[in-house]
Structure 1
C-alpha cells in the first residue's frame, strides 16, 4: 500500500526505540479527516538520517469486501551517492475478506532482495517489460491498478493504466467426485459467476448452478456508519443421497434413509473494531427424508419439516492468527417419533442448540512454501441424529472420509495443509487432519486421522485442472470394509 505521510495526518512523538540496531524515533500518525479511506499507525524514523526504518499501519474506512487491512513494512537504510535513503525490504499484510457466509483471512508477504538506483539501461528495460506478456501493476493512491497492454503497442505506448478494474468473472466447472457414500461416481458440471460490484452498487454476488445443485449468496457494501452490511445465502440439492446410520463405528443398514436438503440464511455483519466483526443471522433449513432400499419396514422416517434458527458469530484476527466463536439455536416447526425404537424423549430434540470455536494460523516459510493450521471445537444440547455434527460434510470436512459418515455431539478437529509451488503454474498440497469426537452412544471419544494430497496445474485450451485425494484409515465403506478413499477431480475455465 502507498502511505504518503503528509499534512493529511496528525503526528505525535511516542519516544525512541531500537530498530535493526539503529536508534529511531517512534511517531504515531492518525488521519485528520475521518470520512475518507486512510491509514492509522506508527512509523519508526532513523534518528540520524531521518529515513524510514519501519511502518505499521491499519487502513481505515474500508468500503469494499476487505473489512480490515494491516501492513507492516521493514525498510533497509543505505546511502547512495552521499544521499541517505531507505527501500522497502519486506512487506507483510494481514487482511480479512468478508464474504456472504464467512470471512477469509489473507496473509501475504512480499520481499525485495535487490534494488538498482538510476540504472543506465533503465528506460530500455522498462520498455522491454511493458512489451512482454507479463502481468504488470502500478501502485497508486487508489491501490494497485493493472497496466493494460495496448493493441497498437508496436507503434505507440505499449501499456496504459486500466481505467477500471475487472470486478466480475464467470467460470465453467466440470468434475467428478468418487465418494464411498455415493453408489456411483458423481459427475457434475456447472457455471460459477462472481461479481464484486453488482450493478455498480458495491454488492457482492456469488452464484453457482450445476444441474442437481445450486447456490446463491450475496453481500451488500457497508452501510450504517460504514460498519454494517447485509448478507444472504441459499442452496439446494435436486436429488436424494444417503443418510447412513452409525453407532459405535458400526453401520446399521436397516436404519439408513435418503435425504434432500435445502437452506436459506439472512445475516447482518458488522465491524465493531478494526479486526473484530459480529455476524448475526436467521437460518431456515428444510430436509426431505425418504426410505432407502435397505430401510427396515418398521423404521419410522422422521418428519420433513422446516427448521428455524438464529446464529451469532464473533470473528477476530491478530497478525497471522484468526478466531471465531459462535452459537446457534434452532427449532423444528414440528417433530415426531422416528427410528426402529421410537421414544417420547425424541420429541425434546424439537429445539436444540449448537456452539463452538475455531482458531487458525497461517505460516509463510518462503515465497513458494506456505501452510495453514486450523483447530475447531464444537458441542451442543438436545442433539439427535439429524441435528448432530457430521465429519465429511461440505462445511466440516475430514480428508478421506465419506460425506456425512461420522456423526457426533461433541468433538474437536485439527486440519492442516502445506502448500508448495515448485513453478509459477503448478501447486502441490499435502493434508493432515485429525478428528476426535464422541457421540451420545459412545463411552469414550473416537479418533479419526485423515491424510491427503492435491495438485493444481494448467491444462490445454485455457483450463485449470485440480485433483485431490484423501484417505481415511478408519473410514467405513458401503460393503463394511475399513479404509476409505475420496477423490475429487475438477476442471475450471474462466471467461
Structure 2
C-alpha cells in the first residue's frame, strides 16, 4: 500500500469510528435542485458528475379518493425515471393540516408515502409556510416531530427537510428551534434568493450545526446565456456556506443551459467545502499598488473531501488584479472561468523563498472566476498531530433517534402475548411476618391497549386459581405523559450525563426532570443503547403523588423479546418498584416485581386467544388512562368497570395465650381494610375481636396532597395483669389489673417521595384495679388520662426504612401508689424516643429475610410507662410476655419466611434485645425471643395461622412466663 493509500485508510477509519460511535450521520444531500411536478416533463438526464436533485412537489389530496390509484402509479413511474437517470429525489409534501381532525389521516399518508417511496427518495420536505402566515410554534413543531418520526421509521436514512419558509421569518424560526425541532430535521428549505437568506442561514447554522440549508427556487431567465450566467453566479456564491443545495426553475431551454454550466462546476458543488479565515492567509487584493480587498467580492474555500484550496473572486472593475496570499501546497494554480468553461495560468506567479507567500496577477471578468491552487493534481492529504477526541451527540439528537427506533418497532409490532408474574412483598411492622402476594397472569398487548387475565393468586403460600379472596386494587396516580413520549408540549427536560454499560452494552445516560412540578410525572434516568438507540433501562421516581400511595420508585429493564421484520423487538423484561403506602395511619413499604416471560410476537390468532380469555370466568384487568381497572363480564362481552376493589374483609376467630392474662384472650370478630370508606377517599382499618378493638381512620390526601391525617383508637375489655419484678423475682402482693383505652390524631407531611415528617397527639386512659393477690398495704395508682404530643421523621427508599420519633407525655392525675418507695412525683411527665432501621431481602419469591434494629429510650419512665412487649406494642418480641419491661432498650429483630411444598408458609423469628431497668440495677439484661408461625389454607376457603413464641429471659423474670401462643382462623368475606 502506498503512503497515500495508508493515509486514506487511516482517515477513513477515523471518520468511520466517529460515525459509528454516535450513529448520527450528516445529511446526505448536496447539489443542484430543479423544481418538478408530476404534471411537468421529467428532468433530462444530467451531465456526468453533476449532483442533481429533483424537488418533486405532490399534493396529498390527489392521493385520496378516486384519483388515488392513478396518482400513485404516476409517482412510481416518475421515481423509476429518476432512479434510472441517477437523479436524487426530494419529495415536497407541502403544508401541515390546518385542522386537528385531519392530523391522523395526514400521518397515515406520510407513512404510506414513505413505505411506497422507500429507496427511491433521498429527502422529504414538509411544513411549508407562506410569507406572512407564520404558524403557532408549538403546534407546528409537534407536527414537524410527528412527521419526522413517521418518515424515519420507514426510511431511517432519509433526510428530513423543514419548509420551505420565508427568508424573513428569522425570529419565528428561532422559536421553532427553541421548541425542540432541531433534532428532528436535517435541513431547512428557504423560499428565496441566496442574497436574501443570510440572517436565516445564520440562525439555522447556530441551532443545527450538523444540518444544511436549501435555497430557492431561483427563477432562471428564458435566454439560455443569461440563465447559465445566473446559475454560475448564484451557485458559486453558495459555495462554502451552509447552503448545500440551490433550487432552480424556468423554461426547459434555461434549465438545459444551467445544467450544462453545472458540469463545469460539478467538482466544487460535490465537494464538502468550508470557508477559510482569509486573515490567517493574509489575503490582499491590489490594483496599481492600492489595496482594493474590501471592494472585491471573494471567498477562500477549502475542500474537506479533496483537501484542495480555491479562491472565488470577482467580478471587479478593470482587466487584471494582483493577489498576495499565504497558502500551503499550491502545487498547480490555475484560473477557471466557470461560465466559459476555460482555464488559464495566472498572468504572473511568484513565491517567496519559503514557498508559502504567493503573489499572482489574475484576470478579471463580469462574472466570478475561481483560482484553483491544485488544479488537476487530484486529492491532497495533510496530516496533523492533533488527536481527535470522541464527541457525544446532543441529547436532543439521542431522544430523536430513540423515538425513531421506537416508532419503527411500534410499526412492526402489531401485538404480543406474554406471561407476567407479579409479586408484592411488605411488612406491616418490624415485629410482624412478611406478606407475599403473587399472581400469575397472561398479558395481551396490541396497538389499542393492554389487558391481562389472572391465572392464579397466592397469599403467603395459600394458592387460589378461582374464587380467591378480594384484594384491594390500590395504585399510584396514572402518569399520562411518560419520559421520551412525543407530545405537543414537552413535559420533561433532558440532560446527557455520559455513557455507561447496561448489561454489557454501552448506553447513553440521560437524566430527565418534569417541567411542571405540580403534575404527577417522573424524575429519573433513562439508559439508551448507543448503537441501536433502543431503551435499555429506566429508573424513575413518580412525583406529586397523593395518598394512599405517597412514593413510587421503579426500575424498568428492557431486553430483546424476539425478532421482527428487519429488527429485534425490545420490550420490558423486568420491573422493580418500591412504593410507600399509607395504611392504617402508618407508612408501609411495598416491594413489587414484575417478570415477563414466554413472549410471543405478532401472534396470528391473537384476537381468538384473547376472546377465549375474555369468555372465561377468570379475573381480567385493562390498563386505562385512569389506571388499572377490572374488565368484567357483561353478558357475552367484557367492559371496563370503574367499581374498583378498594377493601378487604375477613372474619377472625381465635385466641391469644399470654402469661399476662389469667386466661386465653378470645378473638372473634371482623378484620377490615377499606381504602374508600364511605366513598369519601378515606381509609378504615379495623380489627374487632369481641374483647378487643383496634383501628385507624385516615384521610391520605389533604391540602394539596402533601398532608395526611388519621385517628387511632384502641380498647381492651378485659383486665390484664401488671406484675413487677426485681432481683429476687416477682414481687408478691404488688400485682395490679389494668384496662387501657387510647385514641390519637396523626398529621403527616410528605416532604419528598422518600422523606416524611409526622406529628401526633395521643390520649390514653388507664383504669387500675386491685387484684385478689394485691396486698392490703399496696396502693394502686389512680385512674388517669395521659396526654402526649410527639413528632417523627421517616425515610423509605430502596427497601430501607429509617424512622425516628420523640414524644412528651403528661398525666392529668398522679398520686402516690404502691408502698411509696417506687413513686416519683416527677414521673407525672415523661418522655419517650426511638430510632430504627429496617431492611427486607427478597429472593426466590417466597423467601424473605427481614432485619430491624431499633433503640428505645426515655426520661422519668416508671413501672407504668416503661417499654413492654405486648401484642400491639412497637417493642413486641416473639415469646416475650408483656410483664417484661425496660426503661431503655436496644433490640435487633430478624425473620425468615419461606414456603414448604407450595402449601405451607413458615415464618421463623429470632429477636435479641438488651434492656436496662434502673429500678433493679444499672446493668443491661439480655432477652432472646424465638418464634415460628405457620400459615396454610384450610377448608371452606379459610386461612389458618398458628404463631408460637418461646423466649429466654433474665433470671429476674423467671416467673413471668416465657411462652406466647396465638391461634387465628381467617375467613375472607
Q: TM-score, normalised by structure 2?
A: 0.48
| Structure exhibiting the larger radius of gyration computed from Cα positions | 2
Task: Name the structure where helix makes up a greater proportion of residues.
Answer: 2
Partner in structure 1 of residue 544 of structure 2: 61
Candidates 6, 11, 15, aligned match of 2:493 = 11
Does the Cα contact within 8 Å between 2:576 and 2:593 map onto a contact in 1? Answer: yes
The structure-2 alpha-carbon separation of the partners of 1:235 and 1:79, relative to structure 1 and needing over 3 Å to count, comes to closer
The farther-off stretch of 49-58 and 5-14 is 5-14
Match of 1:20 in 2: 503
Query: Cα deviations across residues 430-475 of structure 1 (Å, max 9, x unaligned)?
Result: 1111111111123321111111111222222222211111111338
Contact 1:473–1:482 under 8 Å retained in 2: no
Listed one character per residue, the Cα deviations across residues 118-145 of structure 1 (whole Å, up to 9, x for unaligned) are: 2445445434544455444334443333
**Contact kept in structure 2, 1:401 and 1:475, CA below 8 Å:** no
Provide the C-alpha distance between the structure 2 equivalents of 1:101 and 1:13, rounded to a whole number of angstroms.
38
2:513 maps to 1:30: yes
Query: Which of 466, 484, 487 lines up with 2:962 in the alignment?
Result: 484
Q: Tell me the secondary structure at the aligned position of residue 112 of structure 1.
A: strand
Q: Deviations over 1:200-258 (max 9, x none)?
A: 32111223332222233111132223211221111111221111112248222311110
CA distance in 1, matches of 2:713, 2:872: 14
In structure 2, the partner of 1:280 is 759
Distance 1:481-1:308 versus aligned 2 partners, 3 A rule:
closer
How far apart in 1 are the matches of 2:856 and 2:670?
34
1:329 to 808, 812, 822: 808
Q: 1:70 aligns with which of 553, 563, 568?
A: 553
Aligned equivalents of 2:552 and 2:938: distance in 1? 35
Say whether 1:46 aligns with 2:529: yes
- 1:89 deviates by 2.2
Cα offsets for 1:326-370 (capped at 9, x unmatched): 001011112111112436x61010111111111000111122212
Alignment partner of 2:842 out of 352, 358, 364? 364
The answer to whether the Cα contact below 8 Å between 2:557 and 2:573 also exists between their aligned partners in 1 is yes
Which whole-Å CA distance do the structure 1 matches of 2:702 and 2:504 have between them? 45
- Alignment partners' CA distance in 2, 1:167 and 1:188: 25
Which of 583, 587, 602 in structure 2 is aligned with 1:99? 583
Give the structure, 1 or 2, with the largest relative contact order (CA under 8 Å, sep 6 or more).
1
* Deviation by residue 1:251-301 (Cα, 9 ceiling, x = unmatched): 223111100001111121110111111110111111101111211111111
Q: Is the 8 A contact 1:411 1:437 kept in 2?
A: yes
Closer/same/farther in 2, CA of residues 228 and 484 from structure 1, 3 Å limit: same
**Structure 1: where are the runs of 5+ without partners?**
none
Q: Do 2:502 and 2:536's aligned partners in 1 also have CA atoms closer than 8 Å? A: yes
1:464 maps onto 2:943 in alignment: yes
Q: Contact conserved, 1:311 with 1:328, CA < 8 A, in 2? A: yes
Q: Is 1:313 aligned to 2:755, yes or no?
A: no
RMSD: 2.4
Cα distance change, pair 370–136 in 1 and its aligned pair in 2 (3 A): farther
Q: Distance in 2 between matches of 1:477 and 1:114?
A: 61
Deviations 1:12-68 (A, max 9, x none): 132222211111112223334444322222211111111111111111222221111
Give the drift of 1:323: 0.6
Bigger drift between 259-268 and 132-141 goes to 132-141
State the distance in 1 between where 2:904 and 2:630 align. Answer: 24
Cα distance change, pair 134–485 in 1 and its aligned pair in 2 (3 A): farther
What is the SS of the residue equivalent to 1:348? helix
Asked if the contact 1:476–1:483 (Cα under 8 Å) also holds between the matched residues in 2, the reply is no
The answer to whether the Cα contact below 8 Å between 1:181 and 1:477 also exists between their aligned partners in 2 is no
Asked if 1 retains the 8 angstrom alpha-carbon contact of 2:659 and 2:961, the reply is no
8 Å Cα contact 1:475-1:482 kept in structure 2: no
Confirm or deny that 1:224 pairs with 2:679: no
Mark the CA change 1:477 to 1:173 in structure 2 (over 3 Å): closer, same or farther. farther
CA gap 1:33/1:13 in 2 versus in 1, 3 angstroms: closer
Secondary structure, counterpart of 1:177 in structure 2: strand
> Using the alignment, how far apart are the partners of 1:165 and 1:425 within structure 2?
29
Q: How does 1:415-426 map to 2 (within 5 A)?
A: 415-422=893-900, 426=904
CA distance in 2, matches of 1:139, 1:247: 62
Q: Provide the secondary structure at the position in 1 that maps to 2:814.
A: coil
- With over 3 angstroms needed to count, the CA separation of the structure-2 counterparts of 1:95 and 1:418, relative to structure 1, is same
Take 1:178 and 1:160, find their aligned partners in 2: how far apart are those partners? 49
Separation in 2, partners of 1:378, 1:223: 31
Q: Indicate the SS of the match to 1:372.
A: strand
Task: Give the alignment partner of residue 85 of structure 1, picking from 550, 557, 569.
Answer: 569
1:118 aligned residue: 602
Q: Distance in 2 between matches of 1:471 and 1:147?
A: 48
CA deviations 1:393-426 (Å, max 9, x no partner) are 4122111122x12110111111112111346664
Q: Tell me the residue number matched to 1:450.
A: 929
* The one of 757, 766, 778 aligned to 1:299: 778
Partner of 2:857: 379
**1:129–1:450 distance in 2 versus 1, CA, 3 Å:** farther
Rate the CA distance shift 1:278–1:330 in 2: closer, same or farther, 3 A: same
Distance 1:372 1:113 in 2: 28
- Between 1:274-283 and 1:468-477, the stretch displaced more is 468-477
State how far apart, in whole Å, the 2-side matches of 1:284 and 1:110 are.
Answer: 43
Query: Any idea what SS the aligned residue of 1:48 has?
Result: coil
Cα distance between partner residues in 2 of 1:458 and 1:107 = 24
Report what 1:184 is aligned to. 663
- What is the distance in 1 between the residues matched to 2:682 and 2:691? 27
Q: For the Cα contact (< 8 Å) 1:235–1:262, is it kept in 2?
A: yes
Q: Distance in 1 between matches of 2:705 and 2:790?
A: 23
Q: How many Å apart are 1:488 and its aligned residue?
A: 0.8
- 8 Å Cα contact 2:547-2:708 kept in structure 1: no
Bigger mean CA deviation after superposition, 8-17 or 301-310 = 8-17
CA drift at 1:381: 0.5
Secondary structure in structure 2 of the residue aligned to 1:49: coil
Match of 1:162 in 2: 641
* TM-score (structure 1 length as normaliser): 0.92
SS of aligned partner of 1:254: coil
Contact 1:475–1:484 at 8 Å: present in 2 too? no
Structure 2 unaligned residues grouped into runs of 5+: 1-477
Distance 1:121 1:451, change over 3 A: farther
Moved more, 323-332 or 102-111: 102-111
Residue 821 of structure 2 is aligned with which of 329, 342, 356? 342
**Structure 1 residue matching 2:826: 3-state secondary structure:** helix
Pair 298,255 (structure 1): closer, same or farther in 2 beyond 3 Å: same
- List aligned pairs for 1:203-222, cutoff 5 A: 203-222=682-701
Measure the CA separation in 1 of the matches of 2:907 and 2:752: 34
Task: Flag the 1:417–1:286 CA change in 2: closer, same or farther, 3 A.
Answer: same
Residue pair 2:729, 2:956 contacting (<8 A) in 1 also? no
Alignment of 1:410 with 2:888, yes or no, is yes
Q: Which moved more, 1:2-11 or 1:430-439?
A: 2-11
Name the stretch that deviates more: 300-309 or 1-10.
1-10
Aligned residues: 487
